[in-house]
Amino acid sequence: MHKKYFIGTSILIAVFVVIFDQVTKYIIATTMKIGDSFEVIPHFLNITSHRNNGAAWGILSGKMTFFFIITIIILIALVYFFIKDAQYNLFMQVAISLLFAGALGNFIDRILTGEVVDFIDTNIFGYDFPIFNIADSSLTIGVILIIIALLKDTSNKKEKEVK
């Protein structure tokens, strides 16, 4: 018999990501001034103290009420999707856990300080990518995993139709 939900694994992933996100942000906020930077990997990775009161690339800057409402809706939707549509699918449950943790990590920042602490500063093939954090990484990985899971599910359904 297959497990319907992998609650322990999902909670562990979400808690670990949120704690890691919040600890790294705390370290940056308490040890670096905004704008301070140091090189980790030459021409590729810096740690740069930055604050963002918007979304990715600073869009919707200062729209905290919007972010509070939309994040609560997203968190509720993720819990619903986890219960309703991710049954028996560990891969999808991990993806949802990463999305939940990422959204919650940035939500905590917005509630506590009105802005998100960003610090991972990369330069990829000459493109100076916007500064981000662990929560943003968790969101991105979660989205990628959901896309993979949905593509795999679509592929499996087509295979069953052929048989």
Q: How far apart are CA 1 and CA 32, in angstroms?
A: 52
Residue 22 pLDDT greater than 70, yes or no: yes
- Per-residue pLDDT, 155: 64
Q: Is the dihedral of CA 26, 32, 35, 39 positive or negative?
A: negative
pLDDT band at 57 (very low <50, low <70, confident <90, very high): low
136 catalytic? Reply is yes
Element (H, E) at 97: helix 90-113
The reported pLDDT for the residue numbered 162 is: 62
Given a cut of 70, whether residue 157 has pLDDT beyond it is: no
> Of 64, 27, 76, 57, which Cα lies nearest the Cα of 128?
57
Is 21 one of the catalytic residues?
no
Spatial separation of the C-alpha atoms in residues 43 and 113, rounded to whole Å:
31
State pTM to two decimals.
0.85
Among candidate residues 21, 109, 118, 121, the one labeled active-site is: 118
Please provide the distance, in angstroms rounded to a whole number, between the alpha carbons at the two ends of the chain.
24
Torsion angles phi and psi, residue 81, rounded to 5: -65, -40
- 81: Cβ–Cβ under 8 A, 6 or more apart, which residues? 96
Compute the average pLDDT of residues 96-121.
96
Residue 115 confidence (pLDDT): 93
The three-state secondary structure class of 151 is helix
- Phi, psi of 51, deg, nearest 5: -125, 145
**pLDDT at residue 87, as a whole number:** 77
Q: Which of 46, 51, 75, 69 is closest to 61 using CA atoms? A: 51
Task: Kindly name the residue from 21, 109, 121, 136 that is annotated as catalytic.
Answer: 136
User: Does the pLDDT value for residue 58 go beyond 80?
Assistant: no
Region 45-68: what's the mean pLDDT? 82
pLDDT tens figures, 123-145: 988 888 999 999 999 999 999 99
Bridge-based pairing of strands 45-52 and 116-124 is: antiparallel
Mean pLDDT, the chain, whole residue set: 89
Do residues 142 and 95 make contact, with C-beta atoms less than 8 angstroms apart?
A: yes
